[in-house]
């Protein structure tokens, strides 16, 4: 059964960095837009970032601007969420999502709460000293 899976979560000190990975099983991510969401304890799900199949990046959460970004490794069919200058308020379960779409501006035009083809199980990120 096709699915996406996140990895790379863990415990990191404030100010530190972490790289999360989103990989596909049963298909390749080349023609997919990839979104990242997070959910902190006791809070609702928040859209964080999105990268279109053509590499256009949209940041949804103002709190991560200038600190988080995305990159694609086409050969590995993997998308990375690069998180720098981490803060305790970044503590959350992080989820990647995938939607098959070739439109370069998909992440900008489509609302983040649109239906996605795949959701991962999530990976825990804890920022604490």
- 77-92 tens-digit pLDDT: 899 999 999 999 999 9
pLDDT in tens, 32-78: 999 999 999 999 999 999 999 999 999 999 999 999 999 998 888 89
The region, left, alpha or beta by phi > 0 then psi within -120 to 50, assigned to residue 96 is beta
Neighbours of 54 (CB within 10 A): 15
Q: What is the pLDDT of residue 121?
A: 96
Euclidean distance between CA atoms 80 and 62, whole angstroms:
19
């Amino acid at each position: 059964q096709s699915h996406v899976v996140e990895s790379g979560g863990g415990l990191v000190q404030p100010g530190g960095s972490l790289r999360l990975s989103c990989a596909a099983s049963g298909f390749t991510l080349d023609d997919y837009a990839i979104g990242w969401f997070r959910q902190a304890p006791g809070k609702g799900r928040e859209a964080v970032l999105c990268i279109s199949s053509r590499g256009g990046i949209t940041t949804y959460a103002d709190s991560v601007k200038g600190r988080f970004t995305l990159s694609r490794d086409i050969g590995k069919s993997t998308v990375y969420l690069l998180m720098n200058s981490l803060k305790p308020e970044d503590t959350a379960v992080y989820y990647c999502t995938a939607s098959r779409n070739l439109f370069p501006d998909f992440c900008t035009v489509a609302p983040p709460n649109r239906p996605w083809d795949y959701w991962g199980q999530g990976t825990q990120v804890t920022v604490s000293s």
